[in-house]
Each structure stands twice: as structure tokens, then as C-alpha cells.
Amino acid sequence: MKHVQTRARRAGAALAAVLTWAGLLAGASGCTSDPMDEVFGKPQSPEDIIRVWPGDDSKGVRPDEPLKVRVPSGRLESVKVVKSQDAQESRVPGHITDDGLTWKPDDPRLALAAKYTVDVVALDEHGRRSARHTTFTTAVPGERFIGYVTPENRSTVGTGMIVSLEFNREIENRAAVERAIQVTAKPAVEIRPHWFGNDRLDFRPRNYWKPGTKVTVGLRLRDVEAAPGVYGLQSKTFSFTVGRSQVSLVDAAEHTMQVRRDGDLLATVPITAGSPKRTTYNGKMVVMEMLEMTRMNSRTVGFGGEYNIPDVPHAMRLTNSGTFLHGNYWAPDAFGNTNVSHGCVGLRDVKGGSSDTPAGWFFDRSLIGDVIEVVHSKDKEVAPDNGLGGWNMRWEKWKAGGAVK
């Protein structure tokens, strides 16, 4: 009888073993539910141990949501995160914490309009390896902003050039935008930013650039939030080189312009400046644009129908408001004698322009970024934001105009 009971117990144990393995197999296959799961809990697959945020196949993820990988025990063996944006792929740098349990990106902010792919390999406390593959996409912003930059990439400019960005939208978070723009020089010099309103940011050193300086401008505006829901689009680097120094001093009372190259007097040129009714601004102005010929119409600068000249030669823009230094063929007796212009500085020229005239000679020897300083005019000083007039602002006041304190 004892022998029979023993065999019965063995048979029961064998049946229990069969049921247990059947339950495990059923749980592993995922096809059926086993009653034993209700007692012991459903077995967890190895990949479920690896936690990834944002979740797999998430869409419209905001840039400030955290990207993180974590395991509750064991350690992360490898984490590879790849960002796909604008048809280009790049590895997202990050690090595993000292305890081996967590991975975080070095830059906490996510890029917008991008797809992220996360591949993780982890070891549990028994040395067993598991892996997980997830993807998610970030939100596509409804509004973007860009900055229009002066000067042009790879240009050679005069020593008075100011790096100027004009934005196509109002910037509310000026500090964030300012931090995303880096202007450096070689040889090194202190360069500081100054905001003019909420849509323009200029950079300059304390004094004019040293000839031969190479200036590099890095725009890291991509995905920077300038205003609620408005994000930057640009991520690029450009540079320009500072050429020789040329600073010209216009004396409106003497009707002359002294042209100095690298500190030496190159020539004294007779000029005509603004008439008593239409005086020329005093102060330092920078050549912003050079046109071999252009039309000048008084209506575009608020002077009614006083003039409309279709072929002004050798025109060099000095302010946004319409001040030019240009060739003049219609007032041949004014140069060196009287001021007859509507606020511009005129040099003798001929119809159609010529390199043999004072205007042509000066135009051929000028660069965008050269400085023209006007003195002894019966007008106010040009505003710092009228063209590239920032040299008329004291250095301490200029520095105070930055948003990052």
C-alpha cells in the first residue's frame, strides 16, 4: 500500500511538471493564456525590461520631452541613438551613468521634424543579454524664423564691417537666440552683441577690425524657440575676411573727402554734401552695398517728386534711410564749392560712369565694410541702427544691449 501511494505521488509530481512546462510554453508563445499566470504573473520578455522614453512609435514628441533609456537592474551594455533629419542621419551623443542603469543624451533637447531610432543592448544580473529597438518622431513646427545675415559668406570686407542679423519674425526669447549665435575672430578679439528692437541683432568689436582678421559666424538657430511655437530653421557656419583699412573723412563744411588707406593719406577728393534744406547725417557710416549704376527717386525717401534720376553711377549705400555716396554728373560746378545734394555725398562723375573720374576712382578702390565719416554737417548724428551705424555708440552702451547678462 505504501508502494502504491509513492507511485501516486510521483505521478502527481510528473503531472504538475507537465502542467508547469505547458504553462511556460504557452506564456512564451503568447498564443494562449495560462491559468498559472494569474497566480505567478505573466512572464516578462527580456526586451520589456529595457525602458525607453519616449515610447516606441510615439509621434509629435515635443523638443523638451526627455529622451532616456533605463534598466531596473544589471547594466546597459550599449545604446545607439540615431537622428534622421532633412534626409541626413547623425549619431546622438550621450552617456551611460556610472551605475550602468541609465543612458541620457548630452543635449537634453530633441530636434524638431526628426525621426529617432534607439537600439539598446543590456545584461541582466545573471549576465543574460537582451535587446530593444524603438523609434519615435518629433513634432513638426507650424512656424519658423530665419535670420538674414550681413556680410556674405567668403567675402572680403572693410575694417568697419558689423555682423548684422535681421529676423523675419519678432524675437521674444532674445537670450535663447543670442546664445545660439557665435561670432569669433582670428586673431582673437572681444566681440559683443547688441539688439535693436526685437528683430535685429548686431555684433562688433570695440574698435574697427584689424586688417587680415578672419571672422567666423556660427548659426545654431535650428529648433531654438524664439517665441511660443516659433522655432529657428538655420544651422550653418560662414566666414569672411577683413581686408585693408580704408577710412574716408567727409568734411561737409570744407567740401572735401580725405581717403586714408592703412592710416596714410591716399587722396583728398572734392565733394558736394547735403544742401541746407537736405543736410547730410554726421557720424560714422559703413558701405553696405555697391552698385555701378542705380535709379534714385525722391519719392522712395519721402521727398515727393523732387528728383528721379535713372542712371546714378558708382552708388555706395551708407544708410537704410537712403544716404549714398555716389557719382554726380548733373552738378559739375558744385564739387569742392557748395552743398547741393538731398543728403547724399556726391563725387564728380560723367553720365554712364567712368573709372577716370573721382567717383570711379574711389568706387574701384572701395570695399563693402569701408567707413565713411561725415563731420561739420548741420545735421544730427546718424542713428546706430540706420545702416551699420553701430560705431557711433559708446562701447559700454553697446555691451549693455545684449540679452544674455
Instruction: Say yes or no: 124 and 147 in one domain.
Output: no
Active site residue 326: yes
HSE of 405 in the Cβ direction (CA atoms, 13 Å)? 2
Full-prediction pTM beyond 0.95? Answer: no
- pLDDT tens figures, 324-336: 999 999 999 999 9
Active site residue 31: no
Q: Containing H/E element for 38?
A: helix 37-40
Count structural domains, the chain: 3
Number of other residues whose CB lies within 10 A of the CB of residue 401: 16
Kindly tell me if the per-residue pLDDT of 33 is higher than 80. no
- The active-site residue out of 194, 255, 314, 326 is 326
pLDDT value for 48 = 65
Q: Does a structural domain hold residue 34?
A: no
- pLDDT tens figures, 334-354: 999 999 999 999 999 999 999
Instruction: Say yes or no: 99 and 181 in one domain.
Output: no
DSSP code per residue over 40-54: H-PPPPHHHHSEEES
CA gyration radius, the chain = 35
Pair 381, 282: CB distance under 8 Å: yes
Higher pLDDT among residues 18 and 395, named by residue: 395
Instruction: Say yes or no: 373 and 267 in one domain.
Output: yes
Instruction: Say yes or no: 211 and 278 in one domain.
Output: no
Instruction: Report CA torsion sign: 228, 229, 233, 236.
Output: positive
pLDDT band at 299 (very low <50, low <70, confident <90, very high): confident
DSSP code per residue over 80-147: EEEEEETTEEEE--EEE-TTSSEEEESS-SPPSS-EEEEEEEEE-TTS-EEEEEEEEEEPPPSEEE-E
Instruction: Say yes or no: 385 and 250 in one domain.
Output: yes
What are the two backbone dihedrals, phi and then psi, of residue 384, each rounded to the nearest 5 degrees? -60, -25
Query: Which CATH number goes with the domain that contains 116?
Result: 2.60.40.3780
Pair 358, 270: CB distance under 8 Å: yes
Kindly tell me if the per-residue pLDDT of 45 is higher than 80. no
Range of the domain at 122: 46-138
What is the average pLDDT across 225-236?
94
Instruction: Report how far apart the first and last C-alpha atoms of the chain are (Å, whole number).
Output: 94
Query: Which CATH number goes with the domain that contains 334?
Result: 2.40.440.10
- pLDDT tens figures, 108-146: 999 999 999 999 999 999 999 999 999 999 999 999 999
Matching residue, cell 537600439: 119
- How far apart (Å, rounded) are the C-alpha atoms in residues 113 and 137? 7
| Average of per-residue pLDDT values in the chain | 89
